[in-house]
Amino acid sequence: MTALASAAPLRLWRQSTVVRHLTLSVVGLVVLYFVSTSLDAFANLQLAQVCYTAIATAGLTVLSGLSGQISLGHGAFVAVGAYTTALLLEHLQWPLALVLFGSVVVGGALGCLVGVAAARLRGPYLAGATLALAVGLPSLADYHGLRDLLGGANGLIVTPEPPPLSLGESFPLERWQAWICGLCLVITLFLLSNLASSRLGRDMRLVREDEQAAALSGVPVARTQIVTFGISAAFAGLAGGLFAIVNNLAAPGAFTLALSLSLLTAAVVGGLGSLAGAVYGAVIVTLLPNWTADLAQQANLPRAIYANIPLVLYGLVLIVVIVVFPGGIQSGVRKLGALLLRRARPDRPQESRQET
């Protein structure tokens, strides 16, 4: 009897994905709490940046990894989220949670719109169309009809809310921002990981593998692709809202092609389709520019050199990872895990895991 009772939680862990993801989310929140309280203000700011980058990357990796669509223009959806947050905060003064939800909705709506076009386009066509979106959309802020509303090339200043007084007078703003972004990241990962194991997630994988077979087995191919694009863009919108709050700014210069590129790099480096990979990738692309700037300062490199080191590295990493390690970091982690497991339990037959 006692053996059975103690086995029950383990069985629940094995059988219920929601329980598993909930537990992991709670663990994630606890880790974030301890990490953020032990870091100084600047490091907390970086933590916040990692979190919103990971949110956008997670959205992108679901799009590319699960449904096989590609977007070179996710920076455009981040921009839309940032501007939505800036406008809602400045003009309507809605509460923060509602403002961020607004960014999710607007990002998702635009994503569905693009998704309608995307459902007709394949691989390189879709990549080209989203590239045009990434290059073209930020210039809208300086269009003469919208310049007054969107602040032209200077963009909009966003005044973030101070941390609630209940946390104490001297609670640092950066830690508060890290908490907001961290909470949003955990919610994002929870929702997306459940999505991946849901019926819709299975449809997405089917569509990615073989559209005709998917259609024949009754999967609505176009609708699945449009919905995926919308979901992916919605999380990019959320990332944009957080971007505006953390950086106090929504300006066209922040949403260049380089931003879209860094998101793609994060997704590819981490391992396309893996949510854990999205987090590793986001850590790398967020911290890389800082590390290179520090190194360059020590070595007294000229600005033109070190300002471009991240770009060169993004490019190199994209090429090398795709050509040599197509699975990214996550596939390395999986292989390592499988190896350790085999060492620990040599009698157990090796389970081959499907990589997504």
Partner 1 sequence: MGRFVDLTLAGLTSGAVYAAVALALVLIWRSTRIVNFAQGGMLMITTFIAYTIISHGGSYWLALVVAVAGGLVLGAVVERVLVRPVEKRSPLDAVVVTFGLLVLLQGAAGMLFGGTPRSYPPAFGIAGFQAGGRQLLFAPNDLWIVLVVLAVMAALALVFRKTSLGLRMRATAFAPEVARLLGVRVGRMLTLGWALAAAVGALAGVLIAPSTFVSPTAFDAVLVFGFTAAVIGGLDSPPGAVVGGLALGIVLSYVAGYLGSDIVTLASLVVLIAVLMVRPQGLFGTAKGRRV
Q: Which residues bind partner 1 (CB under 8 A)?
A: 64, 68, 70, 72, 117, 119-125, 127-129, 131-133, 135-137, 139-140, 142-145, 221-222, 256-258, 261, 264-265, 268, 272, 304-305, 307-319, 322-323, 326
Match 């994503």 to its residue by tokens. 111
Q: Is the distance from CB of 100 to CB of 85 less than 8 angstroms?
A: yes
**Toward partner 1, which CB reaches closer, 263 or 279?**
263
**Toward partner 1, which CB reaches closer, 184 or 329?**
329
**Toward partner 1, which CB reaches closer, 99 or 118?**
118
- Strands 156-157 vs 249-250: parallel, antiparallel or unpaired: antiparallel
Match 């360059």 to its residue by tokens. 296
Smallest distance, partner 1 to C-beta of residue 191, A = 24
Smallest distance, partner 1 to C-beta of residue 147, A = 9
**Toward partner 1, which CB reaches closer, 36 or 265?**
265
- Amino acid sitting at position 320: V
CA nearest neighbour of 157 among 211, 82, 228: 82
Smallest distance, partner 1 to C-beta of residue 168, A = 44
**Toward partner 1, which CB reaches closer, 268 or 329?**
268
Burial class (CB in 10 A: 0-12, 13-18, 19+), 216: exposed
Mark residue 249 as left, alpha or beta (left: phi above 0; alpha: psi -120 to 50; beta: remaining): beta
Smallest distance, partner 1 to C-beta of residue 256, A = 8
**Toward partner 1, which CB reaches closer, 28 or 138?**
138
**Toward partner 1, which CB reaches closer, 175 or 208?**
208
**Toward partner 1, which CB reaches closer, 72 or 275?**
72
Smallest distance, partner 1 to C-beta of residue 118, A = 10
> Crossing angle of helices 173-196/41-61, nearest 10°?
20
Strand extents, DSSP E, the chain: 156-157, 249-250
Smallest distance, partner 1 to C-beta of residue 137, A = 6
3-state secondary structure of 250: strand
Smallest distance, partner 1 to C-beta of residue 200, A = 18
DSSP string, 63-123: IIIIH----S-HHHHHHHHHHHHHHIIIII---HHHHHHHHHHHHHHHHHHHHHHHTT--H
Smallest distance, partner 1 to C-beta of residue 146, A = 9
Q: Is the distance from CB of 105 to CB of 234 less than 8 angstroms?
A: yes
Alpha-carbon distance 173 to 246, whole Å? Answer: 10
